[in-house]
Structure 1
Amino acid sequence: MSGHTPVLGIRALNRATLARQLLLDRADLPVPDAVAHLGGMQAQEPQEPFVGLWSRLRAFRPPSLSDRLTDRRLVRTHLMRRTVHLVTADDVLAWRSRHDAMLRQKVLGTYRRELTGVDLAELAAAGREVMSDGEPRSMGELARAVAGRWPAPGPRALGEMLAAALIPMAQLPPRGLWRTRAGARYLPLSDWLGRDVDPPSPPGTDPVGRALVRRYLTAFGPAASADLRAWCGLAGLPAAVAAVREELVVFRDERGRELLDLPDAPRPDPGTPAPVRFLPAFDNAILGYHDRGRVIDDAHRGLSVAGARVVLVDGRVAATWNEDADTVTVAPLRPLAEADRAAVEEEGRALASFLSGGRSDRVRVGASPDA
């Protein structure tokens, strides 16, 4: 290891993450600009992005997200890691082809036995023919429409492969609108947005991969190549990283891992105060890394994939939270100092008011576990 490579401690990485993720200071950004800056938001739980944006933007109001879904500037779609993400229309059209192979492999990883012998090109063509009438369909409806030709795999495998991998799809409103319960219904992105997905790059070039590296570091850096892969799920980015390496600066973490970053990106002083923040389930501020230790202790790592909503205190996961009957209930994971507990209660009251539409600001903070 070179002795000249600067080392970033875990607190320095934490503060950089908070700054990039708009969690150190709430930002004055329009919702589409914030979603673009974040490289999309994980959104398989349809209501969670509202809390994610409330914690990141000043004066955020739910219609500013709902309206952008209905006017098609934002889209819900399967993308990074085969997970439903909220992304801008421009980004999904630019990025989708680069994710095609990964999406197929992820679905095959779950349904390989069921889909053995199925020609995926033929299945895709049949699915497109079904969807050519312009009618939105659920995964089940789409699968049943082609099941006569492929009865063996079953509707779950067929529907997942068609809607999440073979055909670039949008999940349509009202799913994802504020305080709305609705099943997932799909329409091809080209029909919903009125524009075709960008074609794959010519062999030997990867402008989308290079753009993804830069966009990832903007929202998550400094980070290792393994972190980039954990965020997007793409295996074939080493060449893209190599292509932009001369644009980047290099650090090491305390374990010696190489970290890459954009030269002018914010890296706040490790002593910068970090406010209490409430994060939604599956927030990419945690899931967007292979090494999540900059935000969450190893002992609590399982919470990040179990759908727990968490509270950041001094930039780290210190509690979980839930909402019930217009009350936000906080369960500490470690002892909270009196000042931290008061800050959690204050932010929790603001969140309760947001979630209840101003009807309530009730918050209940449970007893801290023994030190």
Structure 2
Amino acid sequence: MNVATARLGARALNRALLSRQYLLRRLDLPEREVVEHLVGMHAQIPVGPYIGLWSRLAGYRPDRLSTMVTNRELVRTALMRSTIHLVTPDDCMTLRPLVQQVLDRDLYTNSSHAAVVKGLDLDEVVAAGLALLDEQPRTPADLGRALHERWPDRKPDTLAYAVRNLSALVQIPPRGTWGGTSRTIHASATTWLDRPVDPAPSVETMIRRYLAAFGPASVNDVQAWCGLTKLNEVVGRIRSSLRVYLDDNGKELFDVPEGELPDADAPAPPRYLPEFDNVLLSHANRERIIPDGLSFAEWCRRYGLMMTVRGGVLRGNLLIGGLLNGIWRIDKEKKSYTLVVEPFTKVSKKDLTALEKDGHALLEFAFPKAESRAVQVLPSR
């Protein structure tokens, strides 16, 4: 049985996380390889993966990801924590059955839907829903209305939500393309990707992949990321193949043997992140990435934010000193765009220069045809 070999403080865990998330320095890697390494990218807001990849890759342009989504090389689907993720087709069909109990729980405990699905033959609803989607992809509203004709005593939105949660669906283009519509249109994943769901996926492999991208991490951290529970036994089965550390509180942290542990004093340049990025959402103990170990929701409440900043044509969160220490938004006036940066901590002269330089690059990335662009860094709160 492996025993802990060393203690890792929050700073060491921060640099390990940033390194494995490709946020210490930009890399020259294929988009698909990055999305796969990260075990998918949070995509509840369609523009999120574009900003996330721009923050991680050198010379990145949005049209490449748009093409991959259009060509079905990457897909948007409900996975970890029942939220929309951008993943490879392989991961769509492998991860979905592993997190099915998370989507079950979401449906059966959801305040809008739990009471409505009681006593309903959900297998029959799903079969009918998939048949309708195979006729043609449909919006949730269209799918719900069609199912409501057969089950007139049930709410249309609940019928559509049941199909979404109990079967593998994907959100198809133009949603998820750069500048594409925000309208959600669902298709069956097996039909869209022309492949079956993995009949024998490995939760052990999923955990190892999580550790490679987010570790070292505790069992609670793994569970916070994927939404599954009772993973102690699974981790116990693979414990002998993992490294084991302790955090500052003496809690066990697990890691893959090849997991990189950079110097805790490695420089961490500022990074513009999308509104939601899994680097902020994937640990039970978030001390390594959010000041004071707050949850993302708690952090938003601390600064009076409604799940990040309001307004702007684009907006997101800001890493300063390796931690979530600010927000940003892009305001538009005619064909002029201003990036407004609001730090919540004191910014060094070096970081201020980096924020301004990267900010101009972000504006050029997002709005290459703008007549003028400006970066405004506000005084720290």
Q: Aligned-pair distance for 1:307? A: 4.2
Out of 352, 367, 370, the position equivalent to 2:379 is 367
Corresponding position of 2:323: 316
Decide whether aligned partners of structure 1 residues 300 and 102 sit closer, same or farther in structure 2, where only a CA change above 3 A counts: closer
Partner of 2:115: 113
Partner residue in 2 for 1:143: 144
SS in 2 for 1:54: helix
Q: Is the 8 A contact 1:114 1:153 kept in 2?
A: yes
In structure 2, the partner of 1:176 is 176
Contact kept in structure 2, 1:118 and 1:150, CA below 8 Å: no
Cα deviation, residue 300, structure 1: 7.7
The amino acid of 1:263's aligned partner reads P
Determine helix, strand or coil for the equivalent of 2:85.
Answer: strand
> Whole-Å Cα distance in 2 between the matches of residues 367 and 350 of structure 1?
21
Residue 32 of structure 1 and its aligned partner are, at CA, apart by 0.6
- Is the contact made by 1:209 and 1:237 (CA closer than 8 Å) also made in structure 2? no
Looking at structure 2, the residues matched to 132 and 67 of structure 1 have their Cα atoms a distance apart, in angstroms, of: 23
Work out the CA distance in 1 between the residues paired with 2:342 and 2:242.
40
Following the alignment from structure 1 to structure 2, what is the Cα–Cα distance between the partners of residues 339 and 48? 27
CA distance, structure 2, for counterparts of residue 177 and residue 51 of structure 1: 13
1:129-156 Cα distance to aligned partner (Å, 9 max, x none): 22232x1101111111111332333122
Partner of residue 292, structure 1: 286
2:158 matched to 1:157? yes
Q: Provide Cα deviations, 1:62-82, integer angstroms capped at 9, x if missing partner.
A: 111011111111000011111
Q: Percent identity of the aligned residues?
A: 41
Provide the rounded CA distance (Å) in 1 between the counterparts of 2:137 and 2:291: 43
* SS of 2:77 mapped into structure 1: strand
Q: Deviations over 1:315-368 (max 9, x none)?
A: 111210011112111111122233322222222111111111263441111111
The aligned runs of 1:189-228 (5 Å cut-off) are: 189-199=189-199, 201=200, 208-228=202-222
Q: How many residues align?
A: 360
* Separation of aligned partners in 2, 1:335 and 1:181: 38
Correspondence for 1:204: none
Residues 169 and 189 in structure 1, CA contact (< 8 A), matched pair in contact too: yes
Give secondary structure in 2 for the equivalent of 1:294.
coil
The aligned counterpart of 1:101 is 101
Structure 1 stretch 288-297 or stretch 302-311: which is displaced more? 302-311
Q: Is the 8 A contact 2:4 2:252 kept in 1?
A: no
> Which letter maps to 1:93?
M
Distance of aligned partners of 1:125 and 1:301 in 2 relative to their CA distance in 1, 3 Å threshold: closer
- Residue range with higher mean Cα deviation, 77-86 or 356-365: 356-365
SS in structure 1 of the partner of residue 99 of structure 2: helix
Q: Name the residue aligned to 1:43.
A: 43
Aligned residue for 2:266? 272
Cα deviations by residue, 1:104-139 (Å, 9 ceiling, x for unpaired): 211221121121111211211221222232x11011
C-alpha offsets along residues 273-312 of structure 1, whole Å, 9 cap, x if unaligned?
1111111011001101111111111368434692452111
Conserved? CA contact 1:351–1:361, under 8 Å: no
Q: Does structure 2 conserve the Cα–Cα contact (< 8 Å) formed by 1:172 and 1:185?
A: yes
Give the aligned partner of residue 258 of structure 1: 252
Q: 1:3 to 1:300 in 2, by over 3 A?
A: closer
Corresponding position: 1:330 with 2:332? no
Q: Which moved more, 1:190-199 or 1:215-224?
A: 190-199
AA partner of residue 159 (structure 2): L
The residue correspondences of 1:340-359 to structure 2 (distance < 5 A) are: 340-357=351-368, 359=370
Distance in 1 of aligned mates of 2:367 and 2:127: 46
In the aligned structure 2, how far is the partner of 1:339 from the partner of 1:102?
43
Unaligned segments of structure 1, at least 5 residues? 202-206
| Higher alpha-carbon deviation: 318-327 or 82-91 | 318-327
Unaligned runs of 5+ in 2: 301-305, 310-315
Q: Do the aligned residues in 2 keep the contact of 1:77 with 1:171 (CA within 8 Å)?
A: yes
Q: Secondary structure at the match of 2:363?
A: helix
Q: State the TM-score, normalized to the length of structure 1.
A: 0.92
Q: Deviations over 1:38-80 (max 9, x none)?
A: 0000101001110000000111111110111111110000111
Structure 1 residues 297 and 125, CA, compared in 2 at 3 Å: closer, same or farther?
same
Q: What's the Cα RMSD here?
A: 1.8
CA deviation after TM superposition for structure 1 residue 174, in Å: 0.3
